[in-house]
Amino acid sequence: MFLLGIALAAEPVTAPPPAVLDAVARTRGAPLAERIDAISGSLLGADYVLDPLGEGSGIDPDPTVRYDAFDCLTYVEEVLALSLAPDVDQAAAIRMALRYEGEVDYAHRKHFMELQWIPDAVRDGWLVDTTGAYGRPVKHLERKVDAATWKAWSGRAKFALTDDQLPMGTMALDVLSLDDAIALAPELRPGTLLLTVRADRSWKPIWISHVGIVVPGEKPTVRHATKMGEGLVRDHGLVWYLEHLKTYDKWPAVGVALLEPVERR
């Protein structure tokens, strides 16, 4: 989930490692899906750390970028920034556009996927929702989030935001069932973001608990920063992962949402 996390004792690596620079250089001019595959692959093996980034000072003094540790969302943000930018130097602007609404500070960070990160990324043309683009029926989730929702949610205390800084409005999301996603796994286009959607809970302003990237391989594959196993950026078989989601019982997974990056040339 996208909540406040822990800091590592080790000094973070804030400059792109040679493997990342090489992946960017050798795929310049290649189709977007190939760039995403190469750049995401150059980060395999990095540590999983919840909430490894911040604003470099203030409420969350973690660095604004690092390459040695990711959580699922910061990994996706960095891969998108490096893949969509015309060069490494311009990746920071895309990273900040995905992560912040205006000013780069804690209050303007897009902390909440359903109310901030996803609708803003679609609005700004970075992503397009392709959940319903594969010919299978989708379930539309929609729910209003207001002050009473935030007051009822125990997770609210994890965010150093005033009541006025919390987003209000309507959460809306199309969801593909797990069974349909399994059947469609070989057809999902490489580069697609795969978001895990949990069952609606009236007291939670959250549906999404994880995000990974569909990449090509001998079999359909999801690449993600995950706490499963040793806690790394790693590949899992996509069908295996979707079947694994069926085992969640305390907060069941009801399906996935699909978002596809848009070439910005």
* pLDDT of 9: 45
Q: For residues 81 and 89, is the Cβ–Cβ distance under 8 A?
A: no
47-99: pLDDT as tens digits: 999 999 999 999 999 999 999 999 999 999 999 999 999 999 999 999 999 99
Cα–Cα–Cα angle for 75, 134, 219, nearest 5°?
55
Q: Which two tokens stand for residue 5?
A: 């996390």
Burial, 191: exposed, middle or buried (Cβ in 10 Å; 0-12, 13-18, 19+)? buried
CATH of the domain at 251: 2.30.260.10
130-147: pLDDT as tens digits: 999 999 999 999 999 999
208-221 average pLDDT score: 97
d(CA 67, CA 207): 28
* pLDDT of 2: 46
| Total residues belonging to the chain | 265
Confidence of residue 5 (pLDDT cuts 50, 70, 90): very low
Domain assignment present for 8: no
Q: Which two tokens stand for residue 24?
A: 């960017």
Domain assignment present for 40: yes
* pLDDT of 200: 97
- pLDDT over 70 at 3, yes or no: no
Domain assignment present for 10: no
Domain assignment present for 47: yes
State percent of the chain over pLDDT 70.
96
- pLDDT over 90 at 174, yes or no: yes
* pLDDT of 264: 80
Query: Residue 231 is part of which domain span?
Result: 18-261
* pLDDT of 265: 62
Non-local CB neighbours of 219 within 8 Å, separated by 6+ positions: 237, 238, 239
180-186 average pLDDT score: 98
- E-state strands within the chain: 47-48, 69-70, 127-129, 139-145, 169-175, 193-198, 208-215, 221-226, 232-237, 253-261
* pLDDT of 29: 94
d(CA 208, CA 190): 21
* pLDDT of 1: 42
- pLDDT over 60 at 4, yes or no: no
Domain assignment present for 196: yes
Q: How far is CA 114 from CA 110, 120, 231, in A?
A: 10, 10, 25
Domain assignment present for 3: no
Domain count, the chain: 1
Confidence of residue 11 (pLDDT cuts 50, 70, 90): confident
d(CA 109, CA 106): 5
d(CA 230, CA 138): 34
Q: For residues 95 and 65, is the Cβ–Cβ distance under 8 A?
A: yes
Domain assignment present for 1: no
Non-local CB neighbours of 154 within 8 Å, separated by 6+ positions: none
Half-sphere exposure of 218 (CA within 13 A, CB side): 1
d(CA 178, CA 246): 8
